[in-house]
Structure 1
Amino acid sequence: MVRVGIINVTGYAGAELARLLYTHPEARLTGVSGRSAAGKPLAEVFPHLACYDLTIGEEEGDIAFVFSALPPAARAAAVPPLVRAGVPVVDISADFRLRDPQEYAQWYGVEHPAPDLLPRATYGLTELNREAVRSSRLIANPGCYPEGALLALAPAVKEGIIGPEVIIDSKSGVSGAGRSLGLTYHFAEADESVSAYGLAGHRHLPEMVQELTAMWPRRVGEAPEPCLPAGTAP
């Protein structure tokens, strides 16, 4: 049984990861951190995780495998010490997805704090990189739009039966924006609606281009604007 820790369990991604790990036959969640709720029982912050008798700390404690669920840039600063200490890390943010640190700075607005680790990171789309993921010590979890786009396009791209211009029509729920508050994500604003965002270019675009170009020698063209939908069932 592998002792697993989650950095920043208090976000949506971290909490959902904790839920999934509870039923994993070979993993045991033994340490969770989250500065905004440090010192509180995990079940107090997320009642649906009452299956865990864990207290949220500022560090994860004695663990053998780490999932990092911090926002971009903040996470890149936390990951290097773990990787250099030999602890396997899965980074859920975008910090280690792009191989070019200059492209990272262009799209995320900050310099990458650990560019020396970028060559060691494996793009963690298991269906396409299973063997590399199996042996990697630093795995970059794919973004939501790229994951759907790459899985759909990979067979046609690898066989060369696709044109050079690709249009990807993707939609994401508002939970993808995280737990921070904003008028756009209020129920009354988002219910039964679809709105476009990132019209000047989305951060996931270079990730798609990078991975598709690796499969196909010709440059993949620009993608259309992403859309943000939300709705409720009656």
Structure 2
Amino acid sequence: MDDFRNEFHKGLHVLAVDDDSTCLKILETMLQKHKYHVTATKNAQTALNLLRGNKNGFDLVISDVQMPDMDGFKLLELVGLEMDLPVIMMSVDDDFKMVMKGIKHGACDYLLKPVRLKDVKNIWQHVARRRKMGSKEQNRSSNQEKANTDSNERGSVATGNSDQNVKSSRKRRDEDDYDNEDQENDHDNEDSSCHKKARVVWNAELHHKFVSAVNQLGFEKAVPKKILDLMNVEKLTRENVASHLQAFL
């Protein structure tokens, strides 16, 4: 595991944001001790400009919550809307509502200040998890596109064979109501299968419903099935909720 972590760190670039010069320098030093590449800034707007100007140049963001020009939650929200990067929040405030606010806005972790050396050792795991999730979504999307292409090709072949179409039409007209009902049921099952395979995008609204469901149930009782029932979102599956629960809680 240590060998894997060290190898992973070689190309991992962290953007650190804190308006307190001393805290920022300490954080930068700790990250560098763990072999992370660090860009540090005291200004949230500057951080956002850096991210917008080089979206592929950073792997992870660590931001303080309380900052004068733009608070960390607003920065977190903008990063979530514009780019796919894990964001870790840090604050002296350990109030439960503040922590949940960070999670609600999409934070992958919430660190209490003063941040310790061991707190930042394994932050690479958030990057690895995000990349793994992205790879799964990409594969799922590619498989769906391939299935659609194959289906279209089969449809073209069937259309070109007019004699077969005539025979099939006659056969369908001769089938009784029972067979027609079976075909309708099969079609419904196929549609259901397609819906389950559809990609789920966890936007701000969907994530808000997720967090509200977790708050209503409490952490001890927040299991995927109960969260799914409370969210009551069409086409969302228990597997989608379970994956999101594991990633953010």
**TM-score, length-scaled by structure 2:** 0.31
Question: Where is the strand percentage greater, Structure 1 or Structure 2?
Answer: 1
Under a length normalisation based on structure 1, what TM-score does the superposition of the two structures give?
Answer: 0.33
Task: Judging by fraction of residues, say which structure has more helix.
Answer: 2
